[in-house]
Amino acid sequence: MRTICFYFQVHQPYRLKPYRFFEIGEDHDYWDDYSNRNIMRKVVEKCYLPMNQLLLELIHRHNGRFKVCFSLSGILLEQLEAYAPEALESFQKLVATGHVELLNETYAHSLCSLKSKTEFIDMVSVHQQKIKELFNGYRPRVFRNTELIYSDTIGETVSEMGYDGILTEGAKHILGWKSPNFVYVNAIEPKLKVLLKNFRLSDDIAFRFGEKKWSDYPLTTSKFVNWINQVPQEDEVINLFMDYETFGEHQWRETGIFEFMRHLPDAVFQGTNFSFSTPSEVIDHASPVGKIHVPIPISWADEERDLTAWLGNDLQDEAFDRLFELEKRVKDSKNPDIHRDWKYLQTSDHFYYMCTKFFSDGDIHAYFSPYESPYEAFINYMNVLSDFILRLKIEERDKIRS
């Protein structure tokens, strides 16, 4: 088996509006509807609609031999329903071809797997229901945790939830001499298959494609196929995992990214012995070569491939810890608005904006952040969280009085 597995993460957060200290106790609406709508419409026009149409054409042109996989966060799906129903319909058309796989994840693109097994399972269950509701009863078999965060224990929990496989990063410090181009199994629960991102080939498309200073610029299909053909013959699967917004948003149309993808399947079929497969097909047909041991969580972010994009500095840890101190109180609440805001406040993007890294990774963080600085992001989030805590206190007081 020699195959390529394309996986696309599709996610947009609910962004917080500027929330000042004097608004605590006065304003319980935290979300920047104007920015969320405008950003969603922009990404839909630049990425989702044109790329979905291109993928649909490629699937039909190649009679289903070209296949891809998506993970659509729950809050992304909510925003598509509200702001861009035509984009949601285009995703539904892709899935209806039978050649596009959907994965489950945490509904709110949350970091809860690092803090609470109960919340993790609950968040995944809500996402399962949303996928079932919007995609004609679809039931994913494979899981993708937020930002490909994975450890042995997270994988064990995912297996307990009934999944056959999980995606994560092929981090060098985990693999050592091993290749990411094979199927592995979870170190605790071998029933769970593990697919590892080939980060070099993935990032050639996702990050370096339009970089004119890159020594291999411009990236052509013939050049990419040549690199694929250099992969040892015994290697079974090349996992190309990336943000869907790579196409048209991070790499603008003017870079040629759409034309690259338009011609890539033909180049692969004509110039290699590779096919295209979905994650489920990979785990069904490729035999695992051994266990992958990940005692400390990894992710696909930054050079370190660890958690420091979201957790690790004092700002991030304070905000994250304060949020999850509220878990039991939130679960005791009967207020649906409390539960909604609790989910939205868990979204990993809020903590990403608080990252204080500099140099190359810092540039990437600044690109995605709506704030002037990580400190502004922290202050805004903590102001919102202070009001959220006040709402919980008022509800608990009223419950006692009644």
Q: For 79-129, what is each residue's pLDDT tens digit? A: 999 999 999 999 999 999 999 999 999 999 999 999 999 999 999 999 999
Q: Is the pLDDT of residue 367 over 80?
A: no
- Can you spell out the DSSP letters for 138-168? ---SEEE-GGG-B-HHHHHHHHHTT-SEEEE
User: Both tokens of residue 150?
Assistant: 């994975």
pLDDT classification of 360: cutoffs 50, 70, 90? very low
Give Cα 95 distance to the centre of its chain.
Answer: 18
Q: Is the pLDDT reported for residue 363 higher than 80?
A: no
Amino acid letter, residue 327: E
Looking at the chain, the number of H-run helices and the number of E-run strands are 17, 10
Asked whether 229 and 272 are in contact (CB, 8 A), the reply is: yes
Tens digit of pLDDT for each residue in 14-37? 999 999 999 999 999 999 999 999
Share of the chain above pLDDT 70, in %: 97
The single residue of 147, 236, 249, 281 carrying the catalytic annotation is 147
**Is the distance from CB of 107 to CB of 66 less than 8 angstroms?**
no
How many of the other CB atoms lie within 10 Å of CB of 202? 22
Residue whose structure tokens are 């949350």: 110
User: How many Cα neighbours within 13 Å face the side chain of 89?
Assistant: 5
pLDDT, the chain, mean: 95
Task: Look at residue 402 in the predicted model and tell me its pLDDT.
Answer: 72
Q: Is the sign of the CA dihedral 311, 112, 144, 93 positive or negative?
A: negative
Mean pLDDT of 209-236: 97
Domain coordinates of the chain in residue numbers? 3-292, 314-401
- Across residues 217-226, what is the average pLDDT? 97
Q: What number is the average pLDDT over the span 248-252?
A: 96
Q: Span 3-292: which CATH code? A: 3.20.110.20
pLDDT one-digit tens code per residue, 131-177: 999 999 999 999 999 999 999 999 999 999 999 999 999 999 999 99
* Burial (Cβ within 10 Å: 0-12, 13-18, ≥19) of residue 10: buried
Contact present, 188 and 156 (Cβ < 8 Å) = yes
- Strands, E assignment, 149-306: 165-169, 183-186, 193-197, 237-243, 275-276, 291-292
Quick one: pLDDT band at residue 358, thresholds 50, 70, 90?
low
Structure tokens at 185: 């199994």
Predicted local distance difference test score (pLDDT) of residue 365 = 47
The band of 400, judged by pLDDT with boundaries at 50, 70 and 90, is confident
Phi first, then psi, for residue 25 (nearest 5°) are 90, -10
- Answer yes or no: 119 catalytic: no
Distance, CA of 197 to CA of 167 (rounded, Å): 8
Radius of gyration of the chain from Cα atoms? 21
d(CA 255, CA 219): 10
Q: How far is CA 213 from the centre of its chain?
A: 28
From the list 307, 303, 7, 360, the residue with the least C-alpha distance to 172 is 303
Mean pLDDT of 226-244: 97
Name the residue among 250, 347, 241 with its Cα closest to residue 42: 250
pTM score, whole prediction: 0.95
Distance CA(170)–CA(239), nearest Å, equals 9
pLDDT digit string, tens, across residues 286-300: 999 999 999 999 999
Query: In this structure, are residues 67 and 6 in contact, taking their beta carbons and an 8 Å threshold?
Result: yes
